[in-house]
Amino acid sequence: DAGITQSPRHKVTETGTPVTLRCHQTENHRYMYWYRQDPGHGLRLIHYSYGVKDTDKGEVSDGYSVSRSKTEDFLLTLESATSSQTSVYFCAISEFPDGPLNTEAFFGQGTRLTVV
Amino acid sequence: KNQVEQSPQSLIILEGKNCTLQCNYTVSPFSNLRWYKQDTGRGPVSLTIMTFSENTKSNGRYTATLDADTKQSSLHITASQLSDSASYICVVSAKGNNRLAFGKGNQVVVIP
């Protein structure tokens, strides 16, 4: 497995509380992504980063914020968790997502978040 | 609108049989197409990646094909095994775009 670790792996939280998920990589890849995966929707992009302090929104970014202060860490924060944010969250890393080389996008093991 | 459509959504096959999964995409301009396997409770793992000039690529019993003209790809599983039970996800990237377009996956169940 590529050097990518998500923490925590499982979390149950109450509605209205803040939650932060962490993605840590040891591959020194430039691009990092946060996705959520829900039945019937597949993987949907929340936010991504293309460098330290460089981030951009994905298709389902409402209610989420991210930060990347170091190359190796990409944090996803739910400022005030809602039940609709119950999901499995995946972090991914990539060196050249659209490059001519056959470069991989590696995924973490996922974080199962339940908001009650 | 989803730029990557996969079919069938799910299928059940007998161990030892072959199957083919389909992926149609509208992503443009095309850069590369990847097939991932996702076991239950785990993150996706890459099987193959193909660029515009590649028609076919194999990884063991998995063979992916690409027709960039018709914007179609297929993943063929030969002599299926119980461990092939998983979701197979087609992912397409566009040139100049940092994002990946995901299909919803083909859910494959292999039964003895």
Facing residue for A98 by CB, picked from B43, B89, B93: B93
Q: Which residues in chain B are contacts of A106 at CB distance < 8 A?
A: 46
Q: What is the mean pLDDT of residues A97-111?
A: 72
Give residue A39's pLDDT: 87
Residue A96 — pLDDT band, cuts 50, 70, 90? low
Q: Where are the beta strands (DSSP E) in chain A?
A: 4-7, 10-13, 19-25, 31-38, 42-51, 54-57, 64-70, 73-78, 87-94, 105-107, 111-115
Of residues B78 and A2, which shows the higher confidence score? B78
Candidates A23, A102, A111, A112, partner chain B, best to mutate (most B CBs within 10 A):
A102
Candidates A33, A44, A98, partner chain B, best to mutate (most B CBs within 10 A):
A98
Residue B1 — pLDDT band, cuts 50, 70, 90? low
Of A50, A45, A37, A54, the C-alpha closest to A94 is A50
- Does the beta carbon of B45 lie under 8 angstroms from any beta carbon of chain A? yes
